[in-house]
Structure 1
Amino acid sequence: MSLPLLVAIVALGIALSVAAVHSTGGSKTATLSGADHAKSRFAEDFPDEIATAVRLTADARTAFLNIGRRRIGIVHSIGDCFLTRIVTPRDVGVLTAEEGNTVSLRLADFTWKGGRFRFASATDAQGLLKALEPQSFGGEAA
């Protein structure tokens, strides 16, 4: 078999594979349809935790859930799946308010470092900042 024919066959095979993955939903990005969806997805991994408030990002790819005792549950889409975490202020390496309603969050967790999250309202962005800011008093955080 000639080299140009082999190259053409390989290129066609790769193109067909990519098209098949795309057409079967392989390139789809998961989104949260609302607060109830975020709560139910979080409950799949953490059934004993009760979310009292949900802050959904503007792109509906991430939700931050208040679960008490200064802990925040996170539901974040990665591809067509969701990653869930529970974080406390101690888990946060960097937490900054950026322009508009955006919060930059860096975690000490090596499996997921965090990211930049834009909210629809400044209230949600400020609520997340307040929930994850370190406490500066002598006792243990409640």
Structure 2
Amino acid sequence: MSLPVLVVLVVFGIALSVAAVHFTGGTTTATFATADQALARFAQDFPDEKPGAVRLTSDRHAAFLELGSQRCGIVHSIGDCFLTRIVTPRDVLALVREGSVVLLRMDDFTWKGGRFAFANEADALAMAAALQARDRTRKAA
């Protein structure tokens, strides 16, 4: 087999694989339709926790759940799956709130945090307050 034919076959095979992943839903991102859906997903991983208020981000890709005593549950979509965490201020490396947006950097090598836009500033303020450490100052990185 000549090299040009082999190159064409490899390129076609890769393109076909990428198309198959895309059309079978591999490139979709999971979202929450309601806050109850976020609660149910969190309860699958942490059945003993009793969350309070649930705050969805405006794009509905993440939910923040109040757990009391400076703890916060986070359910965040990664692809078509959800990642769940219980976070305390000790886990936060940097937290910056700008209006209704919270920039969060975590001390976790499996998930570094992200940028979370809420529908209103009150939700962003409540989440920032829940994760803000009282005993040390946080600086944006």
Please confirm whether the aligned pair reaches a TM-score higher than 0.5, indicating the same fold.
yes
SS at match of 2:51: coil
Find the counterpart in structure 1 of residue 102 from structure 2: 103
Find the counterpart in structure 1 of residue 90 from structure 2: 90
Alignment of 1:20-59 (within 5 A): 20-59=20-59
2-structure distance, mates of 1:56, 1:64: 6
Alpha-carbon distance, 1:111 to partner: 1.1
- Is it true that 1:2 corresponds to 2:6 in the alignment? no
SS at match of 2:64: strand
SS at match of 1:103: strand
The amino acid across from 1:17 in the alignment is S
Find the counterpart in structure 1 of residue 130 from structure 2: 131
Unaligned stretches of 5+ in structure 2?
136-141
SS at match of 1:73: strand
1-structure distance, mates of 2:23, 2:96: 39
Q: Report the aligned-residue RMSD.
A: 1.2
SS at match of 2:36: helix
SS at match of 1:67: strand
2-structure distance, mates of 1:39, 1:84: 11
Length, aligned pairs only: 136
Alpha-carbon distance, 1:107 to partner: 1.0
Find the counterpart in structure 2 of residue 121 from structure 1: 120
Find the counterpart in structure 2 of residue 17 from structure 1: 17
Find the counterpart in structure 2 of residue 139 from structure 1: none
> Normalization by structure 1: what TM-score?
0.92
Alpha-carbon distance, 1:129 to partner: 1.0
Alpha-carbon distance, 1:20 to partner: 0.7
Alpha-carbon distance, 1:66 to partner: 0.4
SS at match of 1:33: coil
SS at match of 2:68: coil
> Normalization by structure 2: what TM-score?
0.92
